[in-house]
Amino acid sequence: MKLVQAYQFALDLTPAQERTLLAHAGAARVAHNWALARVKAVMNQRAAERTYDVPYEALTPAVGWSLPALRKAWNAAKQDVAPWWRQCSKEAFNTGLDALARALKNWSDSRSGRRAGRPIGFPRFKSRRHATASVRFTTGAIRVEPDRMHVVLPRLGRLKLHESARKLARRLDNGTARIMSATARRGGGRWHVSFTVEVERAERPAARPDSVVGVDVGIKHLAVLSTGELVDNPRHLDAAQTRLRALGRAMSRKQGPDRRTGQRPSNRWQQAAKRLGRAHTRVANLRRDSLHKLTTRLARGHGTIVVEDLNVAGMLRNQRLARHVADASFAELRRQLAYKAEWSSSQLIVADRWYPSSKTCSGCGAVKTKLALSEREYKCEACGLSIDRDLNAARNLAALAAEATTAGSGPGAGREADRQTRISGQVAVKRQPGAAQAGQTGTVPPKGRATNRVLTRSHRKVTDHVSH
């Protein structure tokens, strides 16, 4: 199967190469700000004319904000706006224009209701000191050198890598990969290059295709599996708090920037800010590494994985748990499971946000009306089952796989199906006592293996708190 995959490598640049990259990132910012100012000026002019009851036909002509339209306008004005444009690659200006075109489209779709999710604001101008330096190349010489320790980018030449690119080079040599674009970006105190690659991957089935596992994420344990395994939460941010506080206090004692007076930061403040940024980058890298190891093991080991659709944005409003929820990174765990399940020909099932996995008894299916977050032991009043709260939720999630497989066994439920499976019924899954053990042991064969489905149960909204 063909899919798009990214390969990221750190760069070891010379001072001259870093200045060239910064110049290209600045060119992208100039093109973005110029095009945004042009669009805003025309929009404001048309709004002012409407207040004077100017007929629609007599309004100032609107300007297009698609990428081709922005490119045409930039090429006509670049000699006056940026007479130094020949010193940078055309891809640098295209980077800024493409970012603006996508931002304006997202804003327009959000206002008209064509884009789901939270409202998208109008694009803002990019600051020289606060914008992330980035430039994207889609044409020209983009390749990995035979020594696998250097890459070649347009107008930048040969750049040294901090690590070997052998994994990407092997696929390129075998003809199973094609580089589509390369993005150079500065973050965490150093530059990285990311290659967007079209890869031909052989289907690699899971080690146990008939195995079903429910995953209940939380704070005390990052994940509790229906098999009984407890995955500890590394709490990388908590472990680094002592050093982060020390670096933050050291930076506050230096002379920082002041926008009100125009004061420039001192060199020592900039050095302290870099040290603090590197410390935060290390925490992010450790978190990402632990999540990759967990999601890879789940996707390769089980044929069906069931997770919850958590309201992470709502959890972050809890001031006592916000930092711990953000450190656990529930959304990133689900995102990685989504594409890794496809790589392993597994099935990812997403339970509805209102499904009461913690309040439902995994033995008899009875549902509690209230379950405090402090109650870590689930005790069923109907059948007398006493079990850990998180393990009970994981077993309930695993039991949902049988219902999802039954609902998705019709036409169009194969690997290429792209739809949401709706299952009608009550809030709780009605099953006979002992039915949860079938989902726990993993005896349900996945029908549509690489399809991500959402089980919707919106007849009654029952809040299911995240595990503490």
Give the model's pLDDT for residue 384: 84
Comparing CA positions, the residue from 333, 402, 337, 336 lying closest to residue 365 is 402
Write down the pTM of the prediction: 0.79
Comparing CA positions, the residue from 394, 381, 385 lying closest to residue 467 is 394
- Tokens matching residue 291: 């999540």
Contacts 24+ apart (CB under 8 A), 34-43: 34/74, 34/77, 34/81, 35/65, 35/70, 35/73, 35/74, 35/96, 35/97, 35/100, 36/100, 36/123, 36/125, 37/125, 38/63, 38/73, 39/63, 39/65, 39/100, 39/104
* Spatial contact of 235 and 326, defined as CB atoms under 8 Å apart: no
* Spatial contact of 235 and 241, defined as CB atoms under 8 Å apart: no
| 3-state secondary structure (DSSP) of residue 65 | coil
Clarify whether 418 is annotated catalytic: no
Tell me how far apart the alpha carbons of residues 224 and 346 are, in angstroms, rounded to a whole number: 19
Answer positive or negative: Cα dihedral of 69, 71, 73, 76.
negative
* Spatial contact of 360 and 352, defined as CB atoms under 8 Å apart: no
Clarify whether 308 is annotated catalytic: yes
Catalytic pick among 91, 216, 352, 403: 216
* Spatial contact of 36 and 105, defined as CB atoms under 8 Å apart: no
Give the model's pLDDT for residue 130: 85
Give the model's pLDDT for residue 129: 82
Catalytic pick among 91, 308, 327, 464: 308
* pLDDT in 10s for each residue of the chain, 468 residues: 888 999 999 999 999 999 999 999 999 999 999 999 999 999 999 999 999 999 999 999 999 999 999 999 999 999 999 999 999 999 999 999 999 999 999 999 999 999 988 899 999 999 988 899 999 999 999 999 999 999 999 999 999 999 999 999 999 999 999 999 999 999 888 999 999 999 998 888 888 888 999 999 999 899 999 999 999 999 999 999 999 999 999 999 999 998 889 899 999 999 999 999 999 999 999 999 999 999 999 999 999 999 998 888 888 998 888 999 999 999 999 999 999 998 888 899 999 888 888 889 988 888 888 888 888 888 888 888 889 889 999 999 999 887 766 555 433 333 333 333 333 233 333 333 334 433 343 333 444 444 444 444 333 333 343 444
Tell me the domain boundaries of the chain: 1-201, 212-249+276-455
Give the model's pLDDT for residue 411: 31
Comparing CA positions, the residue from 337, 348, 332 lying closest to residue 415 is 348
Catalytic pick among 91, 98, 342, 390: 390
Clarify whether 390 is annotated catalytic: yes
| Count of all residues that appear for the chain in the document | 468
Tell me how far apart the alpha carbons of residues 218 and 135 are, in angstroms, rounded to a whole number: 37
Tell me how far apart the alpha carbons of residues 204 and 210 are, in angstroms, rounded to a whole number: 15
* Spatial contact of 42 and 35, defined as CB atoms under 8 Å apart: no
Tell me how far apart the alpha carbons of residues 312 and 411 are, in angstroms, rounded to a whole number: 34
Give the model's pLDDT for residue 460: 35
Alpha carbon 145 to chain centroid, angstroms: 30
